[in-house]
Structure 1
């Protein structure tokens, strides 16, 4: 098979002497553009091509993204239209142009390939939660939104880089956090905090990534005495409470803690008293003292 100068492909009989020639001059062919058949041709040498078509030969440096290596590759190519006559590797010199090529390649490979840290993932989820809860004043940090705005946040931080391995978690964090205006940063801390403080003082991380809404996992006994359901976003969004046993096993999920105290707590209490007799299980949890401890011996 051969590539013609016009970009079409064509082939000769594998048994033909032409099949072993590096270049041929084609005089006659038949068939479609996608499946041409060479009927008449003669072998030719690269030196003759370069002599006869010198005014049509271009030499250019090309930078491409290598998805396997997640890095840029540069080559110098000598071409006669669609035919590559020679090529050699080059070192990649970082620039705005290479940054755009690298950014496009990384986005095409998937934003999950970037060096996300756990705190940055939570930060992104918090921003997206507030955007869904309060509107478009909060930036769109979805995959589609980030891909559409890569020129403003990703390209600048890649101007001195040629591979994903040179892009650190700190670089990614700085680039993304710059998308959140200063005017919204204090509001974010108030309305979408990283943690909820239980009545016992335990700081519980809020998971914004779950499909059921912002969620905390907390031992049931640490919420004794709490008569209002925990919420965020200026009280607009109740936290999903994954209530746990003393052994951190799931007991119940609720968005209405006062209703739980009045309702199904009695059945849960009956079960937990049997499994964890050394722990306090008061009749009136809404007015009991929260605890992380077992009952003193002898009580």
Structure 2
């Protein structure tokens, strides 16, 4: 049973977590900071990011003397914002030890600032671009947060709004496995999914659907801290290997403690990985 107590000392490491002002992202960043890491909270809302820095400092005040977390503005729905955030991170940190591509949306309608279907643009393309712009600074691990829902995705019609969340979460895994195939030895790519968790991920969903999911997560004891454990194990477990995919070990991978789980066969389709990679480079203008 792997828990937060198993996280090794992170003193001296620099970790960037997207969407770190709330939910699983906040708990991921908080736990890393509690073990001594310098944590960069990459968030869309400056005020919420600053508030998260304050909450984190209060929560960890008795457990660590790590440097104060750093907030960087990042709107994954805008490639201009992604480029600006990457430039700021590069200016402030000569090296990153960990990048956690955590931020995500579901059931969000419309398009991004660059005209991409919102869920594909935010969940995948924004993180693809951010990773590419920072890759030469990352000398550690890249962890991308997917979902059980990736099993319902198909590697086609990437910018269609139909079934967009499942497709975007499949893209997260295709990207992870495709990145490992292209790795030059500096960085190792892994993935994780939280199972169920009481987070704000369903804020754009219909009220009944949001309520049903939150009620089920509460009944199963799936707090954001529990949901963050698969990400944290991928990020810090010395025994983890390139391409590992972590999720809960319990019922239907919804509850339990983190272990290596199986991704769908579609996620391991090399042709699909390459097609998505080519498309992502063309759409974002970021080439690895």
Please report the TM-score for the alignment, with normalisation by the length of structure 2: 0.25
| Structure (1 or 2) with the larger CA radius of gyration | 1
Q: Greater helix share, 1 or 2?
A: 2
Please report the TM-score for the alignment, with normalisation by the length of structure 1: 0.25
Choose between structure 1 and 2 for higher RCO, CA contacts under 8 A separated by at least 6 residues.
2
